[in-house]
Structure 1
Amino acid sequence: MKEASRWSAGLVALGAGALALSGVLAPAQASETHEIKHVLLISFDGLHEQDVARCIAGNTCTNLALLAKSGVTYTNAYTPGLSDSFPGLSALVTGGSPKTAGLFYDVSYDRTLYAPSDTGCVGKQGWNVVFDETTGIDGENGGALVHLDGGGAFNPQAIPHAREGGKCVPVYPHNYVKTNTIFEVVKQHVPNSHTAWADKHAWGYDWLNGPSGHGVDDLARTEINSIDPATNSYYLDTYTHTEKFDDYHVQALINEIGGKDSTGTRNEPVPTLFGANFQTLSVAQKATVATGGGYLDADFTPGPQVAGAINYIDNSLRRIVDALKQQNLYNSTLIIVTAKHGQSPTDHTKLVKNGDTLTKLLEANNYLDPNGNFGQFNTASGNLNDGTGLVDTGMVQTDDVGLIWLRDQSQRDAVIATLKQNLSCNAPGICADGPQAYILSGNALASRFGDPAQGRTPDIIVQPNPGVIYTSSKTKDEEHGGNAPDDSHLGLVVSFAGLHHAGHRVDERVQTTQVAPTILKALDLDPHLLHAVAVEGTDTLPGLGLRGGD
């Protein structure tokens, strides 16, 4: 049953609540509100809460400030324990943590899966799953990524197999996610609805479709790691070049707002639920401080590249909002601006790059084969997803976090003992000796992320000291993936023209998982239609006057 009247009533409650927060009582009238018919979700990867606060206060993001003025700004929003792109986005679109959604990283491991070449599921189990730029067919046999659409099909060497119902079946990304998505729910429960999304990998983000495989009507096939034919270089080489890639997503949204598909070549309904991911800010943050990247101090003062990136994303917001207004859709569209993840460390003085000491320590003690001789780190071409990776080897995934899938799970206690004996930053230490560092395993890990015995969850998670990046890279000074303050604390603005008395802040701590049920509630749908919401009891965001969430 439609619940537009309930939403209107909620807006009235929000108006009064917002004024109550500011100490003024002047309730909004129901006639001032408008029904939400569309939801636009935008992820500016790397957007910290401090970036939002600073640019609004400094008048350097006037368009984001206007959205905040007609909405609610959440100052205390966090990712659900891991902040890589996969768990970060799955939080926003499933309402669940990695424990329920099953997405820990775009490069992960599953003990139950068989190799892509094992079409009969007769060999060993345990596959290093890689759903990234090489998931497109351009990556087959380690090929060059020469097409913006990733080659137009899946790379068969990237698709592992699983035994289901006595059959050996391929596991595409949409089979890999363990819970449904907001796109599926909208498709199933909003008559004549249309959905769309654009992200950074053309084929790896197929999981947004959800287990049905059909949640997103228009999933734009854009690959950020492809080669720009105009420059014969990657879109990721500089943040200004990344702007060109992100412009494809701005144009995709404008096309969809105008009643076209993402390419602008076909007539399509304006999406009920749509959105896009943007990478320019993330690239600028990662760039070395020596080249003008990152931040100048612990107060999030942006360096030249970050300042330029924030200006770019604000201008992109202007173009998108202008398109909504031109099509008379602005007053019926809920706009959510946030991020999959932040970036760490923003304070350059905390940066520690000692190399991948965690992996080296595991290899040196025979918990993993030496010299990267495990999983897809051992392939014939030297490239991921060429179909020749090793099976049943365990693996470790590191950035500013360490996810460890052991080759032999019976060695867990011995591994933990070794790690604890080497916590310092001195070789061969793993730089996890500070008060904000930890080693997670056993019951504590299982309750938060799921049981490793089921195959998907890492056996051990290492969170090093904030500022540590397990790399020797000379091209980046920031990373994400873990639970350090800078990569888990995000900007979040929820804006709607009908919130006449909005413009307030909510300082209560929230999780980005709460975005998904909020989107469904805004469209008059039961948030519990999302499996992860039902399992984890995820609330809607507070301060929006939605029943069942405040």
Structure 2
Amino acid sequence: MKTIRRWKRTQSAIGASVALLAGLYSLGAAASDEHDHEHESVKHVLLISFDGLHEQDVARCIGSNACPNLALLAKSGTTYTNAHTPHLSDSFPGLAALVTGGSPKSAGLFYDVSYDRTLYAPSDSSCTGKQGWNVVFDETTGIDGENGGALTHLNGGGAFNPQAIPHALVNGVCTPVYPHNYVKTNTIFEVVKQNVKGARTAWADKHAWGYDWLNGPSGTGVDDLSRTEINSIDPATNTNYIDIYTHTEKFDNLHVQSLINEIDGKDSTGQSSADIPTVFGTNFQTLSVAQKATVAAGGGYLDASFTPGPQVSGAIAYLDNALGRIVSELKQHNLYSSTAIIVTAKHGQSPTDHSKLVKNGDTLSKLLEANNYLDPNGNFGQNSTKSGNLNDGTGLVDTGFVQTDDVGLIWLRDQSQLPAVVKTLKDNLSCNAPGICADGPQAYILYGQQLNGWFGDPARGRTPDIVVQPNPGVIYTSSTAKDEEHGGNAPDDSHLGLVVYVPHAHHAGRTNDERVSTTQVAPTILRLLDLEPELLHSVAVEGTRALPGYDRERF
């Protein structure tokens, strides 16, 4: 497919020349030519996800001068104050939105722990057994997780855990399904590599092997995919990197250094020379860890106005400093004037208002088990493994599954039970046992035609049969270790910060309050690089537009 390169600009240049010869050259034409020249200066796009970053965090920290580096980007760019995730806000659908331009309906990513009725177990290499597998692409996707092993290596052990890789029949051949086979659409990394001569791509994230899906179906979209595992054991402390936000900073610093190495003309490790990536970026976890920490321990927020507690304040200060280091490196190498920078998040966190917090345990799963819609003893999916750990290869097949955080995704064991299950859920909406806390005005039970419209037909195997969005503030857990979570469509989950800096842009310093989706980031990135957004399959299927201000061929 062809890119939308320069032919229209050539026409404009010819027209301007003719007008000049005729003495009719106008200021408007001159401004247009200047604008074209400025747009052509974008050679690199840096995408940064500060996981947990709400729009209110951006407004508050800029207003109080608590994030001067982000404020400088906003002053030179556009701040979108009404940006939202596409209905689900877990890390997988959140990042897929940013790099595919699609929602779970086209990208096929609902959670890092999900279910697919068409897949066979990892041990079923002939695809002759039952179908229906609980797919887990998280920290245990690395070989360190094999047989429930300890996660002892920062790189996840250096290979895939074979027990984490299910199978599918592809043209009659039983084929392993790696994460890059699991995503259903291509990514910006693939498009850029295929359509920009000499392009290089890079990314760093929190799981060493689960994020292989960023490569896209080709399996080769990211030239430099940094293999870092946040759940690995730090030998200096004998704990993983998410025990406290200051320890998470140490992990995130690895990603800062990766970006600095890449800006310096090296690979992410700094060991080899490499071209500066055309599209690159990373994810930060520090803020997310600080938000989840209990209010009693100084985590989360102090009130409904997003006043940050001590840990969140410290995390935002750290992230802004990290951003400043990255921008400084770009400037040092004369790249700031040719690099667009997008700062946003995969997801927010809920509830920021601690008074709304409800933790009754996983009442949703218990209700389904009690009514025999799932195994009454909880033996469904990989909740029942020989080692007691996910991804040891011994999970049960064809059982249905439930994934809960501050949302509930339900894949029924028997899809014919849908009407009965929905009735049971609707009969138990209150927070009183055995209720599921979904009786408020912002709660809903999604199924049938509306669910199909949002997420696709469950009959195809990937889409949940039912999505339960409980009252904002409800977390389906009894854990005392965290007071916030994400994954659903509650306001605090889905309303995110989004700042876009483009060198020399005429609309610098603007605020845009139109409602936009984070899916619009991906086509915007392609626009900035003079590529056709529809080269992304999800963009073509869902009709995703670039962000306002970048949704035309010339801007």
Q: 1:488 to 1:201 in 2, by over 3 A?
A: same
Shift of 1:499: 1.8
Amino acid at match of 1:3: R
Kindly indicate whether the alpha-carbon contact (under 8 Å) linking 1:4 and 1:35 is maintained by their aligned counterparts in 2: no
DSSP 3-state at the match of 2:82: strand
Shift of 1:447: 1.0
Kindly indicate whether the alpha-carbon contact (under 8 Å) linking 1:84 and 1:480 is maintained by their aligned counterparts in 2: yes
Amino acid at match of 1:312: Y
DSSP 3-state at the match of 1:466: coil
Query: Is 1:238–2:244 an aligned residue pair?
Result: yes
Query: Is 1:3–2:9 an aligned residue pair?
Result: no
- Superposed counterparts of 1:195-234, under 5 Å: 195-234=201-240
DSSP 3-state at the match of 2:135: strand
Shift of 1:372: 2.2
Partner of 2:25: none
The one of 50, 61, 67 aligned to 1:44: 50
Query: Is 1:326–2:332 an aligned residue pair?
Result: yes
Residue-by-residue CA offset, 1:500-524 (whole Å, 9 max, x unaligned)? 5410101000000000000001000
The number of equivalent residue pairs is 534
Task: Give structure 1 regions of 4+ aligned residues with deviation exceeding 2 angstroms.
Answer: 1-10, 26-34, 543-548
- Superposed counterparts of 1:17-36, under 5 Å: 29-30=34-35, 35-36=41-42
Partner of 2:484: 478
DSSP 3-state at the match of 2:377: coil
Kindly indicate whether the alpha-carbon contact (under 8 Å) linking 1:87 and 1:104 is maintained by their aligned counterparts in 2: yes
Aligned partners of 2:549, 2:80: CA distance in 1, in Å?
9
Amino acid at match of 1:113: L
Q: 1:187 to 1:416 in 2, by over 3 A?
A: same
Partner of 1:161: 167
Query: Is 1:302–2:308 an aligned residue pair?
Result: yes
Residue-by-residue CA offset, 1:122-170 (whole Å, 9 max, x unaligned)? 0000000000000000000000000000000000000000001111000
Identity over aligned residues, as a percent? 78
Query: Is 1:124–2:130 an aligned residue pair?
Result: yes
Partner of 1:78: 84
Aligned partners of 1:32, 1:453: CA distance in 2, in Å?
49
DSSP 3-state at the match of 1:313: helix
Partner of 2:260: 254
Query: Is 1:386–2:388 an aligned residue pair?
Result: no
- Superposed counterparts of 1:99-110, under 5 Å: 99-110=105-116
Residue-by-residue CA offset, 1:173-217 (whole Å, 9 max, x unaligned)? 000000000000001000000000000000000000000000000
- Superposed counterparts of 1:263-274, under 5 Å: 263-274=269-280
Shift of 1:331: 0.4
Runs of 5+ in structure 2 lacking a partner?
Answer: 13-29
Aligned partners of 1:180, 1:33: CA distance in 2, in Å?
25
Amino acid at match of 2:542: E
What is the TM-score with the length of structure 2 in the denominator? 0.94
Partner of 1:170: 176
Shift of 1:371: 3.2
Aligned partners of 2:437, 2:9: CA distance in 1, in Å?
50
Query: Is 1:54–2:71 an aligned residue pair?
Result: no
Kindly indicate whether the alpha-carbon contact (under 8 Å) linking 1:289 and 1:477 is maintained by their aligned counterparts in 2: yes
Aligned partners of 1:433, 1:101: CA distance in 2, in Å?
31
The one of 301, 314, 317 aligned to 1:311: 317
DSSP 3-state at the match of 1:323: helix
Alignment RMSD: 1.7
Aligned partners of 1:9, 1:512: CA distance in 2, in Å?
33
Aligned partners of 2:313, 2:9: CA distance in 1, in Å?
38
The one of 345, 358, 379 aligned to 2:351: 345
Partner of 2:17: none
Query: Is 1:454–2:454 an aligned residue pair?
Result: no
Aligned partners of 2:99, 2:551: CA distance in 1, in Å?
21
Aligned partners of 1:75, 1:92: CA distance in 2, in Å?
17
Residue-by-residue CA offset, 1:46-87 (whole Å, 9 max, x unaligned)? 000000000000000000000001100000000000000000
Q: 1:224 to 1:514 in 2, by over 3 A?
A: same
Partner of 1:135: 141
DSSP 3-state at the match of 1:110: coil
Runs of 5+ in structure 1 lacking a partner?
Answer: 11-25
